[in-house]
A = this chain, B = another copy of it.
Amino acid sequence: MLPSSTVENYLKAIYVGETHLAGDQKLVPMGQLATALGIAPGTATTMVKALAESGLVAYEPYNGVRLTPAGEKLAARVLRRHRLIELFLVQVMGMNWDEVHDDAEQMEHVVSDKLIERMDEMLGHPAFDPHGDPIPTADGQLAHRALETLLTCPMNTPVTVARVTDQDAAFLRFIESHNLKPGETIQVEARDEVSDSVVLIGRNDQRITIGARAASKLLVAS
């Protein structure tokens, strides 16, 4: 009864959906789940009912779905694999951070525990992947950091880029080419509601203007 790749993907999407969710209520709506997985809404409903049967999720019709402890354990395992693999591909295989997502997406379902362990050791039990996403520990714990987006962090104060929450290759290449990868130190110089943009001061005092939508995907620590 080991979970299929499909089941693993559903659990992972619900897990991530829960964290993207506003504070208290932890029910992921079917529509959001279907969109995240790129499937038709009806398919999500059918599948989630099956997952509820096997005790991996709690399903409330018309309201949404949430992981049970069993489901969360499995989801964390898959996410751990995904992020370790991404880091491995960048760190050891010398691939670029914008081209590792698809490989990780596939490999996370098939590589042995032994191989994952080897990667983990080789990388020194890392806590974060190349995008700054936390890597769950073997027993499912997530490192928690208090981060802010570029829309909410203090202005004219040096902050460190900690996480980029978008896997789109073109976006990642943009971030990289403007020296905004995790680890870089930057400042927010100005925010403008009207033009919907944020002006940054980056490496070598270079000014970079990005849209608010993009700014919300850059998480920083003060």
Contact = CB atoms under 8 A, between A and B. Distances in A.
Interface of A: 89, 92-95, 99, 102-103, 106-107, 110-112, 114-115, 118-119, 122
A102 B112 contact: yes
Contacts of A122: 93
23 contacts: A89-B115, A92-B92, A93-B115, A93-B118, A93-B119, A93-B122, A94-B118, A95-B114, A95-B115, A95-B118, A99-B112, A99-B114, A102-B112, A103-B110, A103-B111, A103-B112, A103-B115, A106-B110, A106-B111, A107-B107, A107-B110, A107-B111, A110-B110
Contacts of A114: 95, 99
Contacts of A92: 92
Contacts of A110: 103, 106-107, 110
